[in-house]
Structures are given as structure tokens and as C-alpha cells.
Amino acid sequence: MKIKPVFNHSFEKYGKILKGYDIESLLEKLEASTAKPANVIYTPSDAALESISAEAFSKNAFGGMPVQVGYCNGQNTKLNCLEYHRGSEINIPANDIVLLLAPLQAVKNGKLDTNLVEAFYVPKGTVVLIYETTLHYAPCNAVKKGKVSKDGFRVIVVLPKDTNTEKPEIKEIDFEDKLLWARNKWLIAHLESNEAKQGAFVGLIGKNIDLAK
């Protein structure tokens, strides 16, 4: 799979790079206080991280809307699922990573061909804003000289407040309701994923992309 730099013009339909944010102390805290396990862990909101950066991201990046600052850490090489939110997401990696992305507009009746997924290399310390219309999921380990790095990743994740918390109880009134997996989180799973085994909507058709293969 071709991996393009996030600075490539082909990324522009998925998001943009934000500049001017002071992230040094934020990433230092992330690395000093959070684990990097062999699997993937995600914490929507971390009080220590929010005390450092929530105000700036809320006011500048989200125009005054309330936000949460959490993290996604671990090791991963697979696509497995794609998700989207009502509102943009910011990723700030403490390690080089790869993001697997696709356009929400390509989803038809909850289905998406994984051939439409694109891969982007994101250097550590890059502040990446991912648009609301971009399908995304857990970061992947960086690929260097054709080999997957074993370093894993720690990534700051900034989202509208309460995103990815407990799923609300709803009555299905639209097909999209079948994809709702958590609060402000619509999820499309691949059949091979753990999420599919847990009951997530299976809509990723084709190969479950694995950067290690």
C-alpha cells in the first residue's frame, strides 16, 4: 500500500495541518504519564492533559466549543474499522504514525470498499486536524524503509466534549442509527475485527488492510 506524507496535497480533502500550538509540554506529559501497551488503548478525556491544552484547542481550533483531550496509545498495523463524528478531530503523535483514511461520502448504506482507503505518514509533533467527513480509526505504527516500526505510538486525541463515551439509548429512525457505536461515534467494522464480534455493524468490504503484510 502506498503511504503518502500528510503534507501531500492529496491529504487536503481529509484535513489540514494546524500550526502555532505549543505542544511540547503536552507531549512530554503524554509520554511521562501514559502507558504504551502491546494492544491499543484509548482514553477519551485525561484531566492532566486537559489542564495543559484544553483551553487553547477549545478557543482556537474549535471556535469556543467545549472539547476533551485524551490519548490513543499502543501497537497497531490493521485497519479493522472506520469511524466518524459530528465535529473534527485533532491528532498529535509523540511518535511517527500512519493514518488510514477514507471519505465519508463514499459510504453507501453503511458499506465501504477498503480499496478506497488511503494511508498517510504523520511525523511526530505534527498537529493534524481531521475533518468531520473523514473516516478514520486507530493510528498505525509507522512504516520506515518498507518495514513496520516496533516503536508503537502515543497520540493526543482532541474531540468535541463527551465524544466516544457511553452510547445513548436511541430508537432507530434512520439507517445511520445502525452504525452508532458510542456517543458521537458512528462505526463501520470489518468482519475480521473484534468490534464486529462484539456486534458492530459490518460494512467494510474487501481486504482488512494490514501494513505488516
pLDDT tens digits for range 91-100: 999 999 999 9
Rounded Cα distance between 172 and 15, Å, is 30
Asked whether residue 70 carries a pLDDT value surpassing 90, the answer given is: yes
Q: Are 5 and 120 in contact (CB under 8 A)?
A: yes
Rounded Cα distance between 149 and 145, Å, is 10
**Grid cell locating 56:** 487553547
SS3 10: helix
The pLDDT of residue 144 is: 87
Segment holding 80, helix H or strand E:
none
The pLDDT of residue 91 is: 98
Provide, rounded to the nearest whole percent, the portion of the chain with pLDDT above 90: 99
**Grid cell locating 6:** 500528510
**Whether pTM exceeds 0.95:** yes
Distance of CA 213 to the CA centre of its chain: 21
pLDDT confidence bin for 128, thresholds 50/70/90: very high
CA-based torsion, 75, 81, 82, 88: positive or negative: negative
Q: Per residue in 149-194, pLDDT tens?
A: 999 999 999 999 999 999 999 999 999 999 999 999 999 999 999 9
The pLDDT of residue 150 is: 94
Closest CA to 111 of 201, 13, 1, 207: 201
In this structure, how many other beta carbons lie within 10 angstroms of the beta carbon of residue 197? 10
Rounded Cα distance between 48 and 59, Å, is 18
Q: Which fold has domain 3-75+87-161?
A: Jelly Rolls (2.60.120)
The pLDDT of residue 146 is: 87
Domain segments of the chain as ranges: 3-75+87-161
pLDDT confidence bin for 145, thresholds 50/70/90: confident
Output the average pLDDT for the chain. 97
Q: Are 15 and 88 in contact (CB under 8 A)?
A: yes
Least confident segment among 69-73, 84-88, 144-148, 189-193? 144-148
